Chains A and B, each alone.
Chain A
Amino acid sequence: MLPYIARRLALVVPVLFVTSLVVFLFVRALPGGPAIALLGERATPEAIAAFERAQGLDRPLYAQYGSYLRNVLSGDLGVSTRSRQPVAEELLQRFPATVELTLAAILIAVLVGVPLGFVAAKRYQGPLDQASLVGSLIGISFPVFFLGLLLKYVFAIRLDWFPTTGRYDITSSLDTRTNFLVLDALLAGDGAALADVLLHLVLPAVALATIPLAIIARITRAATLDVLDEDYVRTARAKGLRGAIVDRRHVFANALLPVVTVVGLQTGLLLTGAVLTETVFSWNGVGSWIVEAISYRDYAVLQGGILFFVLVVVLVNLLVDISYAFLNPRIRFR
C-alpha cells in the first residue's frame, strides 16, 4: 500500500512539470502582456521596455522558463505584477475559500445525487425515475454562470433569503485565522457567525453542485441498474435476506465503485466551475483570482493558480484510486 502511494506520488512530478511548461507557454500566448495591461494602451514604448526589462520579460522564453522552474522548486512562485505580493502568499490566503466552496458543492452533489440515482434505479421507469432523468438533463445543460446569476436573482435579490455576494458579513468580528470560514466559526464557537458563513455558502455551492450532481445521479442510476441484474444479487435474495440488506450490502456496495471514480473526475469540472461561480458571487478564491489575473496578464498568478488546480486534481484522483482499493478487493496494489 505505502510503496504504491509513493509511486503514485512520484508520478505527480512529471505531470506538474509538463503542465507547468504548457501553462507557461499558454499565458504568454495571450495577446498583449502585463506591461500594456498595467501601464495602459497609451504607455510609451520606452516605459513598456523598461517594465519588461525590470520583470525579466525581455529575456528569451527558455531562460524565463528556466529561472521560473528554479524558483518554483525552491518554493518561490514569483511576485504578482499587479499587487506586488508574493504569489505563494496570496495563494495560501485564497485557496481555503476555493476548497471550502468545492467541498460544499461536492458534498451536496454526492449526498443528493447518489441517493437520488439509487432510488431512481430501484423504481426504474417509475415517475421518480423519469423526473430524475429530466431533472438531471436540465442540470447538465445549464451553464454554471447563468444558473449562478439566476439563483442570485431569485433567492438573494427577489426573495432575500440569502446574501448576494461574499463569504461572510464583513461587519462581523469573525477571526479569519485559517480562512476556512466554517472552521473558523466553529473554532470560535460562534453560532451566529457559523450561520452567517453557511448562508453565504448556500447559493454558490448549489450553483457549483448542479452539474456534478446531475452526472453523479445518472452514473449512480446506471451502475445500480447494472448491479441489480447481477447474479450475486439473485443469490442474495435466494438466501432469504431482507430487501433492505440486499440493497445495502449487495447492491449499493457494488454500485458505488464507478461512482467513486466519477466523483474524482468531477474535481476538474468543479474547479472550472469554481472560476465562474466565484466571479458571479464575488468569492475571494483561487478561481476569481485567476480571472482577474487574466485581464492583467499577471503571468506569475496565472501560473501559480493553474498549477494549484492541477495539483488538486492529481491528488484527488490519487485519493480516489486509494479509496477504490478499499471498496474493491479485486484491486491489488502493484
Chain B
Amino acid sequence: MSSAAWTAWEGADPVRPPAGPLLSVRDLQVRFVTRDRTVHAVNGVSFDLDAGQTLGLVGESGSGKSVTSLALLGLLPRRTAQIPAGEVRFADEDLLHAPESRLRQVRGNDVAMVFQDPMTSLNPVLTVGRQLTETLRTHLAMDKQQARDAAADLLDRVGIPDPRRRLREYPHQFSGGMRQRVMIAMAIACRPRVLIADEPTTALDVTIQAQILELLRGLVETERMGLLLITHDLGVVAGVCERTAVMYAGRIVETGPTADLFARPRHPYTLGLLRSVPRLDAGSDLPLAPIPGSPRDLTDAPSACAFAPRCAYATDESRERLPVLTPVDGDRDHLVACWNPVSDAQRVSSA
C-alpha cells in the first residue's frame, strides 16, 4: 500500500481522539510457507479501531479475514505463517514484535477473541467454570473463590440463567447459543478493550444470532470496547457495525461508514456482494445475482487487481497495476481500491 493511501486513511476518521486509535493495523502481510508452495493470505491490510467503535470485516471464505484477526495476537501457526511486513499497534504498543510473554498478557486480557464454532471452541473435558476461571486467575490474580464468584457474575451478564449450577457443567450440556454466550463471557472476563469476534453467529440459528449480536452490541456500549466483527454476512454488518471494510484476496478493497457503503458501493466486488443477498422486496421471480467465477488463487503476490478476472468493470489498468485505497469523490471517509469504480449512474442502470 502506498503512503499516499495511508495518509488518506489517516485523516479519515474525524472523531478519533488525538492519542491515536486503540488498535491500529498498517500494511499487514501474512504468508503461509510450506515446502512446495507459498500462500499470500493477507497482502497489506490497514484499519483502525477506536474504543466504543464497531468495525465489520467482510469477505468470502479465504479472503484473509480470520488470518488477519489471528495475526493481531500472534496466534497463527508458527511453523508455517510468516509476517514479512506490517504493523499492529494496540494502545501505541507494537504487538507484532512483542515477545511471546508480553503477548500472553495482552491475549484474553486487553484483546480478547470469540471464535466461530462454539461447538468446538470449548474444551470438552473441562467444566465451563474451570474454563472461565482459568482466564480470570491467569490475568487478574484472583483466588479460587473470587474467580468462581466473578465467573458466575459473567454468566449472569451474558444471559445464562442459574449461573452457579451451570459453572459445574460441561460444554456438551449447553446448547449452541448458550455455548457462544459462554465464549463471550470468557472473552469479556478481564474487561478487554478490544474484542475480536470471528464469525460469532455463523454456526447459530437465526433467532439465536440476533440475541448474540444484541449482546455484543450492548457490551460495546456499556464497556466502551472496540469490536472487530468478522463475518461474511452483510446482514450482520448492516445491523451492528458503524464502519465496514470489505476484503478480497487478502486486501481491503473498500471501506467506509456502513450506511454509506451500503447505499453507494463503489467497488464492483462490494456491489456484487450486496447483489447476491436475497431480498424480500425484490420479488421472488427476480433471480439472485451471484458473482461469477471463484476467488483468486493466492499462490502469487498480488500485482494487479485480484478481482479483475471476475469483474465486469475491469480495465486494462485493472489487469496490470495494483489499485490502492483512495477517497471516493473526495470523501476521505469512504475509500475504494479500484481503477474503475462503479458510478451512481452505472449502479442504477445495472440494477
Contacts and interface: CB of A to CB of B under 8 A. Distances in A.
B186 interface: yes
Interface in B33-58: none
Contacts of B135: 239-241
A238 B107 contact: yes
Contact of A329 (B103, B139, B172): B172
B112 A232 contact: no
A231 B172 contact: no
A249 interface: yes
A334 interface: no
Interface string B49-83: 00000000000000000000010010100010000
Contacts of B106: 240
A124 B79 CA distance: 10
Interface string A75-88: 00000000000000
Interface stretch (B122-130, B228-236, B241-249): B122-130
B21 interface: no
Contact of B123 (A124, A235, A240, A327): A235
B27 to A, nearest CB: 24
Interface in A222-238: 230-232, 234-238
B109 A232 contact: no
Interface string B203-225: 00000000000000000000000
A240 B108 CA distance: 5
A242 interface: yes
A250 interface: yes
A239 B73 CA distance: 10
A34 to B, nearest CB: 54
A239 B107 contact: yes
Interface string A316-334: 0000000000011110000
A165 interface: no
A254 B138 CA distance: 21
Given A234-B75, A237-B107, A329-B127, 20 more contacts: A231-B115, A231-B120, A231-B121, A235-B121, A236-B123, A238-B108, A238-B112, A238-B113, A238-B115, A239-B107, A241-B134, A242-B138, A249-B134, A250-B123, A253-B123, A253-B125, A253-B126, A254-B124, A327-B125, A330-B170
A234 to B, nearest CB: 6
Given A240-B135, A241-B104, A235 B122 contact: yes
B299 interface: no
B229 to A, nearest CB: 16
Nearest to B120: A231
Contacts of A234: 70, 75, 115, 121
A87 B183 CA distance: 61
Interface of A: 124, 230-232, 234-242, 245, 249-250, 253-254, 257, 327-330
Contacts of A242: 104, 138
A232 B139 contact: no
Contact of B124 (A232, A238, A245): A232
A237 B104 CA distance: 8
Given A240-B109, A241-B104, A232 B170 contact: no
Chain A CB within 10 Å, residue with most, of B113, B120, B123, B183: B123
B117 interface: yes
Interface of B: 70, 73, 75, 79, 103-109, 112-113, 115-117, 120-127, 134-135, 138-139, 170, 172, 183, 186
A95 B139 CA distance: 54
Contacts of A329: 124-125, 127, 170, 172
A95 B103 CA distance: 57
Contact of A330 (B112, B124, B138, B186): B124
Contacts of B183: 235
A242 B113 CA distance: 17
Contacts of B107: 237-240
A148 to B, nearest CB: 39
Contacts of B124: 232, 254, 328-330
A235 B115 contact: yes
Contacts of A254: 123-125
Contacts of B138: 239-242
A239 B105 contact: no
Nearest to A242: B104
Contacts of B123: 232, 235-236, 249-250, 253-254
Contacts of B121: 231-232, 234-235
Nearest to A239: B108
21 contacts: A124-B79, A231-B121, A232-B124, A234-B70, A234-B75, A235-B115, A237-B107, A238-B73, A238-B107, A238-B115, A239-B138, A240-B106, A240-B135, A240-B138, A240-B139, A241-B134, A241-B135, A241-B138, A242-B104, A249-B134, A330-B124
Contacts of B186: 235, 239
A249 B126 contact: yes
A32 B11 CA distance: 99
A241 B123 CA distance: 14
Contacts of A240: 103-109, 135, 138-139
A194 B199 CA distance: 62
A308 to B, nearest CB: 35
Nearest to A238: B113
Contacts of B170: 329-330
A253 B70 CA distance: 25
A240 B102 CA distance: 9
A214 B141 CA distance: 42
Nearest to A229: B77
Contacts of B120: 230-232
A166 B116 CA distance: 61
A240 B113 CA distance: 11
Contacts of A249: 123, 126, 134
A239 B134 contact: yes
B120 to A, nearest CB: 4
Chain B CB within 10 Å, residue with most, of A230, A239, A329: A239
A234 B112 CA distance: 12
A301 B104 CA distance: 63
Chain B CB within 10 Å, residue with most, of A124, A236, A254: A236
A124 B70 CA distance: 21
B230 to A, nearest CB: 14
